[in-house]
Chain A
Amino acid sequence: MLLWKLIKDDRGGQILLALLAIAILLVPMLNALPADHALHLPTYTVALLGKYLTLALLALSVDLVWGYLGILTLGHGAFFALGGYVMGMYLMRQIGDRGVYGHPELPDFMVFLNWDSLPWYWMGMDQFWFAAIMIMLVPGVLAFVFGALAFRSRVSGVYLSIITQALTFALMLAFFRNEMGFGGNNGLTDFKDILGFSLQARETKVGLFVASAVALAIGYLISRAVIQSRLGKVCVAVRDAESRARFLGYRVENVKLWIFTLSAMIAGVAGALYVPQVGIINPNEFSPLNSIEIVVWVAVGGRATLYGAVAGALFINYAKTWFTTELPDVWLFALGAIFVLVTLFLPKGIAGLFRRKEANA
């Protein structure tokens, strides 16, 4: 009942959640069909779909701050990558003595660097519960500290966008360094299993897909709960007339800070689900370009609708997969063309199509 209240007036959200529910039921069934069956869904595709869903969750987190608060964040990839690194650390610890060097505790790259013990920040990462907390805590704390500094001093607009770029760029440079203890430019890879299930197994991939779909649904509902509350209205108020909100007595910086932190935590979860499905996390995930790309997904999907961000992320990433396999040289031009066309003809993005229909009905 409570959940229904959240999406009662949200046609796009209803469709999204219905599709996710269908996918959770149908994808494992189709994948379980014999390989020569016409409707068989290859395991490779399942993992790909799961990856798309985690990227959709990332886009959702960006829409929360950009669409509803007007903070154009160009560094959300950093929170995604941090969540991914925490998951990567957990997965590295799960390798145990099956690494190339066969060390019982140290990951291969540390043996290679002649380290003799685990750095303190790798402690506890062999416990899933601990890693699960850290997946949200690490991006959350970074966002909180960063936001507290930026929002208290009333940095906004282009300046804030530039600092978020700097943040993710600085993290990228830091993670490239071997002595940081995160595998340098190779990052973390060669994962074996998660929670005792082999990552190569078909069932694990299906399980990760389902987990991604569930995470996206939960992330959507949480974001929706925030947006529907009076806090969500204050967010829109801050976006449209910040000083008016201040003169009404709202502490604008606190509103921004908490929403930004929540968004970073969602992005962290998305990163953590992304890593086991693609099998690697390296510093390139921090690349400033990645963060800009997320903003493009949201813009294509339509700002301030939540489901639009999801649609945009799925659409662009599907297009990316298709183009990079069929016409690899054309992809960047195609992305540019999509962005230009959407800006020209669908200023409200893909979600704008929905809204027009709603308005006519």
Chain B
Amino acid sequence: MSRPSLLHEVRDKNTVFSFMQTQASPALNVDKQILLYLEGLSVSFDGFKAINNLNLYIGDGELRCIIGPNGAGKTTMMDIITGKTKPDSGSAWFGQTINLLEMDEPAIAQAGIGRKFQKPTVFEFLSVRDNLVLSMPDERSVFSLLKARISGEQQDRIDEVLSLIGLVEQQQLGAGSLSHGQKQWLEIGMLLMQRPRLLLVDEPVAGMTHQEMDRTAELLISLSGQHSVVVVEHDMDFVRQLAGKDRTVTVLHQGSVLAEGSMDQVQNNRKVIEVYLGE
């Protein structure tokens, strides 16, 4: 649970986290230890059911891996959670009080859901540092942005994240000049700045070297606990590394949950083998 860190942040007058809390519509309530409820979700595009009666619960502080063949609805699911796509039916709640289906993307982001895209998406014409500055959960309205300044604490936080993602020396460079792997890291850094309660990560290790993959796995594992992390990934080695022995893995197939359990259970599940190996 993140209570101690939350208390700690509330005590400091100017911390960004408390500001974000007041911005978010109703306060987040995770009394039942569940952060995200997706129930009976369905959405179809031109008759094709991308999501079909999907039920998924993500615990508070959990690290959940989601796998599934192409077209299983992984990205559509993320689109629904982040407000980009509205489902035809079903419900999506963030904690027990926040109805995600009534909010648009910025509101959901401000409520504490961060998203990393499959393709690294950073602001190429801004410096690495400015990318992080814009990601802080700070001013969001047009007129306060005009006179926004960076406080000392925010400065420290930026430096901390910069060293965590290994881009201290590149901080004044344009983000467009970074390598593919570095952009992935910068995007992860932007999510860290955002301090979301729930982090949705779409194929984080695409195009990364093995060392970078190991570092990413380490980072994501260290983030769980304080944040809930949902990772969608194709790379089985990476999923095994993340899930370890006891974390839950969810297999999506044709828009609904096919199997759920530990990595070993899932791998030995008959239905999963059928879907993956076509037997």
Give the residues from 104 to 152 in chain B that come closer than 8 angstroms, CB to CB, to chain A: 105-107, 109-110, 114-115, 117, 121-126, 130, 133-135, 137, 139-143, 145-148
For A68, give the chain B residue with the smallest CB separation: B125
Q: How far is the CB of A234 from chain B (nearest CB, A)?
A: 6
- Kindly list chain A residues whose C-beta atoms are within 8 Å of the C-beta of B141: 251, 254
Question: Which of B114, B124, B146, B147 has the most CB atoms of chain A within a 10 A radius of its CB?
Answer: B146
Give the residues from 193 to 240 in chain B that come closer than 8 angstroms, CB to CB, to chain A: 194
Q: How far is the CB of A166 from chain B (nearest CB, A)?
A: 27
Docked complex Cα distance between A233 and B149 (Å)? 13
Asked whether any CB of chain A lies closer than 8 Å to the CB of B82, the reply is yes
Asked whether any CB of chain A lies closer than 8 Å to the CB of B190, the reply is yes
- Kindly list chain A residues whose C-beta atoms are within 8 Å of the C-beta of B148: 229-231
- A240: contacting residue among B106, B125, B133, B142, CB under 8 A: B125
- B122: contacting residue among A231, A234, A239, A241, CB under 8 A: A241
Q: How far is the CB of B112 from chain A (nearest CB, A)?
A: 10
- Kindly list chain B residues whose C-beta atoms are within 8 Å of the C-beta of A258: 142-143
Docked complex Cα distance between A233 and B109 (Å)? 19
Q: Are A251 and B122 neighbours in the complex by a CB distance under 8 Å? A: no
Q: Which residues does A use to contact B, with CB under 8 Å? A: 225-226, 229-231, 233-234, 236-237, 239-241, 243-252, 254-255, 258
Docked complex Cα distance between A254 and B105 (Å)? 13
Sample 26 A-B pairs with CB under 8 A, ordered by A number. Answer: A229-B145, A229-B146, A229-B148, A230-B145, A230-B148, A231-B146, A234-B145, A236-B123, A240-B124, A241-B121, A241-B124, A243-B105, A243-B117, A244-B117, A244-B122, A244-B123, A246-B105, A246-B109, A247-B115, A249-B106, A249-B110, A250-B106, A251-B142, A252-B106, A255-B145, A258-B143
State the main secondary structure of chain A at its contact with B: helix
- A243: contacting residue among B121, B135, B147, CB under 8 A: B121
Q: Which residues does B use to contact A, with CB under 8 Å? A: 82, 84, 105-107, 109-110, 114-115, 117, 121-126, 130, 133-135, 137, 139-143, 145-148, 190, 194
Q: Are B140 and A230 neighbours in the complex by a CB distance under 8 Å? A: no
Q: How far is the CB of A140 from chain B (nearest CB, A)?
A: 15
Q: Are B142 and A233 neighbours in the complex by a CB distance under 8 Å? A: no
Q: Are A240 and B123 neighbours in the complex by a CB distance under 8 Å? A: yes
- Kindly list chain B residues whose C-beta atoms are within 8 Å of the C-beta of A226: 146
Q: How far is the CB of B75 from chain A (nearest CB, A)?
A: 13
- Kindly list chain B residues whose C-beta atoms are within 8 Å of the C-beta of A246: 105-106, 109
Q: Are A251 and B82 neighbours in the complex by a CB distance under 8 Å? A: no
Q: How far is the CB of A231 from chain B (nearest CB, A)?
A: 4
Q: Are A247 and B146 neighbours in the complex by a CB distance under 8 Å? A: no
For A304, give the chain B residue with the smallest CB separation: B125
Docked complex Cα distance between A240 and B190 (Å)? 16
Q: How far is the CB of A270 from chain B (nearest CB, A)?
A: 22
Docked complex Cα distance between A309 and B139 (Å)? 30
- Kindly list chain A residues whose C-beta atoms are within 8 Å of the C-beta of B142: 231, 251, 254-255, 258
- Kindly list chain A residues whose C-beta atoms are within 8 Å of the C-beta of B190: 248
For B20, give the chain A residue with the smallest CB separation: A249
Docked complex Cα distance between A239 and B134 (Å)? 14
Docked complex Cα distance between A63 and B91 (Å)? 44
Closest 8 CB pairs of A and B: A249-B109, A231-B145, A246-B105, A230-B148, A249-B110, A237-B123, A244-B121, A258-B142
Docked complex Cα distance between A277 and B244 (Å)? 76
- Kindly list chain B residues whose C-beta atoms are within 8 Å of the C-beta of A245: 123, 134
Q: Are B140 and A250 neighbours in the complex by a CB distance under 8 Å? A: yes
For B193, give the chain A residue with the smallest CB separation: A248
- Kindly list chain A residues whose C-beta atoms are within 8 Å of the C-beta of B134: 230, 233-234, 237, 245, 248, 250
For B194, give the chain A residue with the smallest CB separation: A248
For B130, give the chain A residue with the smallest CB separation: A233
Q: How far is the CB of A261 from chain B (nearest CB, A)?
A: 10
For B147, give the chain A residue with the smallest CB separation: A229
- Kindly list chain B residues whose C-beta atoms are within 8 Å of the C-beta of A234: 134, 145
New A-B contacts (4) at CB < 8 Å, excluding given A236-B123, A243-B84, A248-B134: A241-B123, A248-B135, A249-B110, A254-B142
For A257, give the chain B residue with the smallest CB separation: B142
For A235, give the chain B residue with the smallest CB separation: B145
Q: How far is the CB of A48 from chain B (nearest CB, A)?
A: 36
- Kindly list chain A residues whose C-beta atoms are within 8 Å of the C-beta of B125: 236, 239-240
Q: How far is the CB of A349 from chain B (nearest CB, A)?
A: 16
Q: How far is the CB of B202 from chain A (nearest CB, A)?
A: 11
Q: Are B123 and A230 neighbours in the complex by a CB distance under 8 Å? A: no
- Kindly list chain A residues whose C-beta atoms are within 8 Å of the C-beta of B123: 233, 236-237, 240-241, 244-245
- Kindly list chain A residues whose C-beta atoms are within 8 Å of the C-beta of B122: 241, 244
Docked complex Cα distance between A229 and B105 (Å)? 24
Docked complex Cα distance between A230 and B139 (Å)? 9
- B114: contacting residue among A240, A247, A252, CB under 8 A: A247
Docked complex Cα distance between A57 and B238 (Å)? 55
- Kindly list chain B residues whose C-beta atoms are within 8 Å of the C-beta of A237: 123, 126, 134
Q: Are B145 and A248 neighbours in the complex by a CB distance under 8 Å? A: no
For A231, give the chain B residue with the smallest CB separation: B145
- B109: contacting residue among A230, A241, A248, CB under 8 A: A248
Docked complex Cα distance between A24 and B141 (Å)? 38
Q: Are B126 and A233 neighbours in the complex by a CB distance under 8 Å? A: yes
Q: Are B137 and A249 neighbours in the complex by a CB distance under 8 Å? A: yes
- Kindly list chain B residues whose C-beta atoms are within 8 Å of the C-beta of A239: 125
- Kindly list chain B residues whose C-beta atoms are within 8 Å of the C-beta of A254: 141-142
- Kindly list chain A residues whose C-beta atoms are within 8 Å of the C-beta of B121: 241, 243-244
For A238, give the chain B residue with the smallest CB separation: B123
- Kindly list chain B residues whose C-beta atoms are within 8 Å of the C-beta of A241: 121-124
- Kindly list chain A residues whose C-beta atoms are within 8 Å of the C-beta of B84: 243
Q: How far is the CB of B131 from chain A (nearest CB, A)?
A: 8
Q: How far is the CB of B103 from chain A (nearest CB, A)?
A: 11
Docked complex Cα distance between A254 and B110 (Å)? 15
Docked complex Cα distance between A226 and B134 (Å)? 15
- Kindly list chain A residues whose C-beta atoms are within 8 Å of the C-beta of B145: 229-231, 234, 255
